Amino acid sequence: MTATAAASAKGRRRDGPTSPRRGGKSRRISAGPLFVAPFMVLFLLLFLAPLGYAAYLSLFQERLIGGTVFVGLDNYAQALGDSQFLHGVGRVALFFLIQVPVMLLLALLFALALDSGLLRLARVIRLGIFVPYAVPSVVATLMWGYLYGPDFGPFAQLSRDLDLPVPDFLSEGWMLGSLANIVTWEFVGYNMIILYAALRTVPTELYEAAAVDGAGAWRIAWSIKLPALRPALLLTLLFSVIGSFQLFNEPKLLMNVAPDVISSSYTANLYAYSLSFTGQQVNYAATVSFLLGLVIVIASYGVLLTANRRSTS
């Protein structure tokens, strides 16, 4: 009896500590999905479900006779031959090639200047460059639309006072540059903050070692800071690709000021909006939107592929 009692007591001692551990481990395993569940539900309802519904709509076409009929990929074939859609994509691609290099170059110069520690009132300057990003794009476009105005804008008034030709920033030849200026003014500060934050993560020991070796400020910026900024520059470039091809607010608002220059198909995003809410062509608008998304994916993949090839070479 004594041996049996000792054996049972020993078994209880062994089982006692392990059962809470098993229960705690199972609770930890189940806690992860519970924390992620709210995000997954919202992601499903607010992103995947509308995306799937838009894909469903793009496969149909509403006709006067027969109502809504299934047409398969006919809408996509029509969009690939739609000159308005193709011109809109080409226009935003040109906008990307002009605006993004200028914006990222300015953001890089500002970030390097702030990180150098040579500027006085660096915090005030940093805040002043970042403030335009806090201004809503609608307000920024309205403000610049007034500045561009050929009648009451300050540039027009100054040109008249100096007996100079009045610059028509809202003409067909100037419009793309005017839009690029607005977007650059809005997002230089945002990209500058990303690049500046990346510079602040560089260990100061690298700068000290380079200074001991006799490297100057320009050499340090070229050999240490710029290589350290490659991931951040790639991130800002990807954001710029997506933002450029989704250009909408600025041309939509300036359309009221220059309707002869900015049409309903000036950009691909504006064209999809006009098809859906003005022309009531919901199915074709969904098709145009999907093709625009495909263009963004291809452009983003091209940027990533080029960056990876350069980093491995």
pLDDT score of 23 more than 70: no
**How far apart, in Å, are the Cα atoms of 51 and each of 40, 160, 181, 251, 289?**
15, 52, 32, 25, 10
Given a contact cutoff of 8 angstroms between Cβ atoms, the answer to whether 183 and 105 are in contact is no
Higher-pLDDT residue of 8, 212 = 212
Phi, psi (degrees; rounded to nearest 5) at 139:
-65, -40
**Secondary-structure class of domain 74-312 per CATH:** mainly alpha
pLDDT score of 63 more than 50: yes
Given a contact cutoff of 8 angstroms between Cβ atoms, the answer to whether 71 and 307 are in contact is no
**How far apart, in Å, are the Cα atoms of 154 and each of 157, 158, 170, 178, 182?**
5, 6, 14, 15, 16
pLDDT score of 293 more than 70: yes
pLDDT score of 166 more than 90: no
Q: Kindly state the DSSP code that residue 76 receives in the 8-state scheme.
A: H
Interacting residues of 151 by C-beta distance below 8 A, sequence separation 6+: none
Number of C-beta neighbours around residue 299 at 10 A:
17
Higher-pLDDT residue of 258, 29 = 258
Q: What's the CA gap between 221 and 240, in Å, rounded? A: 24
Q: What's the CA gap between 159 and 142, in Å, rounded? A: 21
What pLDDT does 1 receive?
Answer: 44
Q: What's the CA gap between 180 and 98, in Å, rounded? A: 8
pLDDT score of 8 more than 60: no
What pLDDT does 161 receive?
Answer: 87
pLDDT score of 29 more than 80: no
Average the pLDDT over 141-152 and give the result: 90
Share of residues in the chain with pLDDT > 70 (%) = 89
Q: Would you list the domain boundaries of the chain? A: 18-57, 74-312
Q: What's the CA gap between 285 and 306, in Å, rounded? A: 32
Tell me the pLDDT tens digit for each residue of 76-91. 999 999 999 999 999 9
Q: How far is CA 247 from the centre of its chain?
A: 10
**How far apart, in Å, are the Cα atoms of 205 and each of 103, 216, 255?**
30, 15, 53
What pLDDT does 34 receive?
Answer: 83
CA nearest 57: which of 70, 42, 40? 70
Tell me the pLDDT tens digit for each residue of 211-257. 888 877 788 888 888 888 999 999 999 999 999 999 999 999 999 88
What pLDDT does 252 receive?
Answer: 93
pTM of the model: 0.83
What pLDDT does 269 receive?
Answer: 93
Q: Using CA atoms in the order 110, 115, 118, 119, what is the torsion angle rounded to 10 degrees? A: 50
Q: How far is CA 70 from the centre of its chain?
A: 34
Q: What's the CA gap between 139 and 246, in Å, rounded? A: 18
Average the pLDDT over 12-30 and give the result: 56
